[in-house]
Amino acid sequence: MDIFLYITLGVVDSICITLLAFRFFRWPYKDYIAEMLILATMASMASFILRVVLSFPFIDMGIQLLLYIIFFIVVIQIKPSRALVVAVFGYLAFMVNQIIIILILKLADIVQLPHAHATEGVEIYLIQIASQISCFVLAYVMYRKRLGFSFWLVPPHTFYIKDKTDYKLIVITWISILIVSATLFIVFYTNNFFWSFIVIPLFVLIYYVSRNREWE
């Protein structure tokens, strides 16, 4: 039952990440639901194998991001540099949302701060489900209010046509990946959840750069 819950909730987590990525860039996703489910299943199975079976949680994020980037390049057909930005944006948005949910539940004295290596338990499942619900609500609000960015056209994109390269956004994205990777390593090594708060200013930074790009 724990294996089933882990994989099932992991699938929903992955759908949330992909959905947020689509919504932040105002791209329609309904034509890709089947592909999103396949991606989510692959990502959840990979996470289960790395974190539970092999006990290699440190590389989980890297494998997850790689799967999302490949998905956006191959299935959604956007350029690799843009696929990188979109995937990281969705991943960071999900992480920030989950951190906020954890803090709310902690302040309400519903859960304790999670153990860095914890993969199961009532509190872990509660955090996941609450985070997933809030992601779906956020995506719906963004859709209704037409929030997000529109500086990249709706895919599929034409790969052989040269257009403006967003160097600043790409550099910020790579910096975010490196810092988040280092932060997660520290969190797993020290079991100190508060290190994860660094994700919030990183997301604010990449959002700010994207907003400036929108105004250009």
> Model confidence over 11-28: pLDDT tens digits?
999 999 999 999 999 999
> Model confidence over 32-82: pLDDT tens digits?
999 999 999 999 999 999 988 888 877 888 899 999 999 999 999 998 888
**Cα–Cα distances in angstroms (integers) from residue 65 to residues 73, 105, 130, 139, in the given order:** 12, 27, 23, 20
Q: What is the pLDDT of residue 135?
A: 96
* More reliable by pLDDT, 60 or 158: 60
Phi, psi dihedrals of residue 118, rounded to the nearest 5°: -70, 135
pLDDT at 163 over 80: no
The pLDDT confidence band at residue 188, using thresholds 50, 70 and 90, is low
Phi, psi dihedrals of residue 88, rounded to the nearest 5°: -65, -40
> Model confidence over 80-96: pLDDT tens digits?
888 999 999 999 999 99
Q: Which domain holds residue 204?
A: 2-215
> What is the DSSP secondary-structure string of 84-145?
HHHHHHHHHHHHHHHHHHHHHHHHTTSSPPPPTT---SHHHHHHHHHHHHHHHHHHHHHHHH
Q: Tell me how far apart the alpha carbons of residues 202 and 205 are, in angstroms, rounded to a whole number.
A: 5
Name the domain count of the chain: 1
> Model confidence over 93-136: pLDDT tens digits?
999 999 899 888 888 888 776 654 566 778 888 889 999 999 99
pTM: 0.89
